[in-house]
Amino acid sequence: MAIDNTETKNTKAAKKNAKPAKKNTKSATEKPKSAAEKPKKRGAKAQKKPVKRGLSTDLIPIEDETWLVQPIAVTMMRHDYSLIQIRILVSVVENLQSILHGILNNKRSQELSLFTTNELDEDGRLPVKLPFKELGVDPNHYPQLRNSLKMLASIPIEIPYKTAEGRKYTKATNLCDVYIPNDHTYNKYAILKLDRGVAERLVSVDTLGYHKLGKQIVFACKNRYTQRIYMYIESWLQQGRTVIKTLEFRKMLRLENNYKKFSDFCRRVLEPAKAELKELASEGYCDCYFDYEKKYDNGQRGGEPDELIFNIYKADDQLNTQLKEATEAQKKQFEQMLINYFAFTAANAQKLASRITADTYSEAVQKLMDLRMRFKTTYVKDKAAYTYKSIDHLLKEHEIPNTVVTEV
């Protein structure tokens, strides 16, 4: 019992002495702080995981992609745009699609007046209206979007073009002037005004060529270098391989003075883009990906290579097979509709149906349904010829002539 009482007294005394020690000593007060900091560190690590990602749930599958005609002049343009500004650039290209299709279908001439009077403003500039909601930016970040738009007016660009003497670059002080209304309407937008000379360079497809571009693929990229490299490899997808001088590639990205060590250039530019495009392609959100090789001219084994070799791959063959099978079934169905309801011969129906793609199928079927309703109320002597002309016109608006892409 005495031992128990002594222990109890000693314990009480220890507790009494311990309390003031915690209050008055610095080390005791610092410990709770350092202990509190640890959960913050764990929290910081937890926040990094989504950034390491996790593809977005808003991504668009390849079969629903919006394919654009992109001039090589835009792809090879030298600039230092941010991720959002590259989205803006692609949106400008999207707004130029009717002009580009007009050039490719020989309805517009680059030698004569390329733009109609009603397409230009009173100062002879080409205005492009961009609603904020179409730029893939959360409304909470509209202030940053406004800043990105305003900066377009001051960021220098170089647009490539060819002359009779050879390949040259022309410098433009900027892409456009930017006008953002100050009103507080719900439908916020900006108007970009392109000088006529800049607009003409952007749609120059006759000298440098063009390629298809997935708008949503560009918007899905989380890294601006992934966006640029995607554009570049998309322009060489059919060839499957391309070689470019490393310095030219750096200049295109405005990185001739950054990441001087090539290992840093790989770590910060090439490898992240390679990994991101491979992930997007494997999940069915991108139609191509790449790897690269270093090429040395003088027997070197390290350092900055003289050239970069890009090996370009089409996305998962299984996905392509599924899409091809779906398209073939659609063509067969369309062919039967032409025979059954529009008096087509089997040969003519097959010939017209062979031009149907996954992109045009729904619109073409809707056109047939409209024509069928019209034929019920309007006499048409040759239904097959009338239908052929209507569908042919619709398909020609979507078809792009096959032009060889020229390396810049």
- For the record, the structure tokens of 44 come out as 């910081």
Burial class (CB in 10 A: 0-12, 13-18, 19+), 58: exposed
Query: What tokens were used for 75?
Result: 């792809």
Among all chains, which residue has been given the structure tokens 């016109």? 393
Structure tokens at 146: 């406004």
Whether 306 contacts 295, CB under 8 Å: yes
Residue in this structure with the two tokens 């030219």, named with its chain if needed: 248
For the domain made up of 55-220, the CATH class stated in words is: mainly alpha
Q: Give the separation between CA 372 and CA 367, rounded to whole angstroms.
A: 9
Q: Decide the pairing of beta strands 157-163 and 126-131.
A: unpaired
Q: How many Å apart are CA 187 and CA 386, to the nearest integer?
A: 42
Per-residue pLDDT of the chain (408 residues; tens, 9 = 90+): 444 444 444 444 444 444 444 444 444 444 444 444 444 444 444 444 444 445 555 677 777 788 999 999 999 999 999 999 999 999 999 999 999 988 888 777 765 578 887 889 888 899 999 999 999 899 899 999 999 999 999 999 998 877 656 666 676 778 999 999 887 666 789 999 999 889 988 888 866 788 999 999 999 999 999 999 999 999 999 899 999 999 999 999 999 999 999 999 999 999 999 999 999 998 889 999 999 999 998 878 789 999 999 999 988 655 566 666 667 888 888 999 999 999 999 999 999 999 988 778 888 988 998 899 899 899 999 999 999 999 999 998 876 544 434 444
Q: Which CATH code of 3.40.50.1580, 3.30.70.260, 1.10.10.10, 3.30.365.10 fits the domain covering 223-315?
A: 1.10.10.10
Domain residue spans of the chain: 55-220, 223-315, 320-397
End-to-end CA separation in angstroms for the chain: 97
- Give the β-pairing of 177-179 and 307-314: unpaired
| Residue 7, C-beta contacts closer than 8 angstroms, at least 6 positions apart | none
Helix (H) or strand (E) holding 388: helix 383-398
Does this chain's domain 55-220 share its CATH topology with 223-315?
yes
CA distances from 25 to 7, 20, 110, 408 (A): 26, 8, 82, 71
